[in-house]
Amino acid sequence: MLKIYGIAQSRAFRVLWMAEELGLPYEQVKVGFENMKVVDPRLHALNPNRKLPAIDDDGTVLFESLAINLYLADKAGGPLRWANAAEAGRCYQWSLWAANEMEPKSQAWGYEKFMKPEGQRDAKAIAAAAEGMAAPLSVLQTTLAGRSWLAADRFTVADCNAAGVLYRLLWFEGLAKFDKVKDWLDRCYARPAALRARKMREG
Ligand SMILES: N[C@@H](CCC(=O)N[C@@H](CS)C(=O)NCC(=O)O)C(=O)O
């Protein structure tokens, strides 16, 4: 059976969401952190980067959350998988875009807003980090002005991956300025599988 390593409060959230979308039977191995580091040797054995998440799918061992989701979509088939080469290209494109163009900026904002020790948070730094997200969010806004979903005429792994990266932006008031992105993110997170994954993460 598929084993997903990582607590839902880590990037394992993205994989748990995907597994829920696909209706896969899976076991979650709730590996967490000690002083921000993953010290569990079971995880070290699977991921030499010592980061969450990792999976062991009956001997297929993988790390990198968004790559794991592409693998699961491909293996499971169905509507979340690409139906042709063009859709495949867009699934890869938006997954890599999310990791490379969006995540560094959204992580920086999430850090300033939620993760920095409370006494050290300041409005100026939060606003600067929010401004840092403007360029990639504009790209998404323009794209979603022309289509409802990123890779196809339906929700696919591309949406799951990009929306998974944007999780913290559910609490970003400035998203109102990017109304198409907000509408898309709300539609992604209204899905029953997303609600189940959020429940695991938020309780
Ligand atoms: N690009 C990786 C990033 C993995 C990652 O940074 N995971 C964090 C938890 S969300 C982690 O395990 N951090 C521990 C550390 O940095 O030592 C992915 O998407 O899977």
CA of 52 to the centre of ligand 1 (A): 5
- The response to whether residue 182 sits with its C-beta less than 6 Å from ligand 1 reads no
Instruction: Delimit the CATH 1.20.1050.10 region(s) of the chain.
Output: 85-197
Q: What's the pLDDT score for residue 89?
A: 98
pLDDT digits (tens, 9 = 90+) for 82-105: 999 999 999 999 999 999 999 999
Distance 118 CA to ligand 1 centre (A): 22
The CATH fold assigned to 85-197 is Glutathione S-transferase Yfyf (Class Pi); Chain A, domain 2 (1.20.1050)
How far does the chain reach from its first CA to its final CA, in angstroms? 25
> In this predicted structure, what is the pLDDT of residue 162?
98
- pLDDT of amino acid 27: 98
136-151: pLDDT as tens digits: 999 999 999 999 999 9
Q: Is the CB of 64 under 6 A from ligand 1?
A: yes
Q: Using a cut of 0.85, tell me whether the model's pTM lies above it.
A: yes
**What is the pLDDT at residue 125?**
95
Q: Tell me what pLDDT residue 85 has.
A: 98
Confidence of residue 46 (pLDDT cuts 50, 70, 90): very high
Chain region(s) in the chain for CATH 3.40.30.10: 2-77
Mutation to probe ligand 1, out of 29, 36, 52 (largest number of atoms < 8 A from CB): 52
Q: How far is the C-alpha of 189 from the C-alpha of 203, rounded, in Å?
A: 15
Predicted confidence at residue 190, as pLDDT, reads 98
pLDDT range class, residue 48, cuts 50, 70, 90:
very high
Q: Is 165 in the pocket of ligand 1 (CB under 6 A)?
A: no
According to the model, what pLDDT value does residue 90 have? Answer: 98
The pLDDT of residue 26: 98
For the CA of 36, the nearest atom of ligand 1: 14
pLDDT at 195: 98
| CB 35 less than 6 A from any atom of ligand 1 | no
Closest atom of ligand 1 to 66 CA is 19
- In terms of DSSP bridges, do strands 2-5 and 26-29 run parallel, antiparallel, or are they unpaired? parallel
In the sheet that holds 60-63, the strands lie side by side as 26-29, 2-5, 54-57, 60-63
C-alpha distances (whole Å) from 106 to each of 169, 183, 194 are 8, 18, 19
Share of the chain above pLDDT 90, in %: 99
3-state DSSP: the chain helix, strand, coil percent, rounded to 5?
65, 10, 30
State the pLDDT at residue 131: 97
Domain 2-77 grouped into CATH 1.10.3720.10: no
Beta bridge partners of 60: 57
